[in-house]
Amino acid sequence: MKKGFTLVELLAVLIILGLIIVIAIPSYTEIYSRIKRSNMQSKVTEIETAALKYGNLIKDDVKNSKGNCTIIKVATLIERGYMVSEDDVEAIIYDPTDNTVLDGDIHLCYCKSKMDITANYTVPFNAYKVYHEGDTVTYNDKLYECLVDYTDIHNKNGPPGIFGTNKDGKNYFREVTC
């Protein structure tokens, strides 16, 4: 009676393990991407909450500014003590999805109908960048919110752009009003 495995049995085990890995890695990558995206959304919410606190302090200045809006930077919130910098030298916050600096603008606007301040962290619109549902962009001095993931960057449904639609006919963006 022999002890051990035959070559065929070992190959079968290796093939099964290979199949499990082929199935598991894409799932893991997708989960990891979702976690990073969720961290990004949390960070943007934190920035907007800090901006609202600062905006309530300068509400009269915002009301009296052109278009009832003022643009501030993340560094301003850090310098004024509303947020803590993630760097020992510079006043910056990092994007958890790619470890770049979050250097977009924060639009503080006075909404007359709500009689309150709104805050939106925005980046300039780039037709060849991927945006996710809930992201806010600026285009021609207006704010737009992403309604569905903007991934149609390869000109599949007409020219890529802020006014385009996805393959299901849904608008990618809508203008943000208070």
Selection from 136, 122, 112 nearest residue 71 by Cα: 122
State the pTM of this model. Answer: 0.79
| Residue 167: how many other CB atoms lie within 10 Å | 8
Q: Which long-range contacts (CB under 8 A, 24 or more apart) does 34-38 make?
A: 36/96, 36/97, 37/97, 37/132
Q: What is the torsion angle, in degrees rounded to the nearest 10, for the CA atoms of residue 92, residue 41, residue 129 and residue 168?
A: -170
pLDDT tens per residue across all 178 residues of the chain: 677 888 898 999 999 999 998 888 888 888 888 899 899 999 999 999 999 999 999 999 999 888 889 999 999 999 999 999 999 999 999 999 888 999 999 999 998 888 899 999 999 998 888 888 999 999 988 999 999 888 766 555 555 577 877 778 888 899 988 7
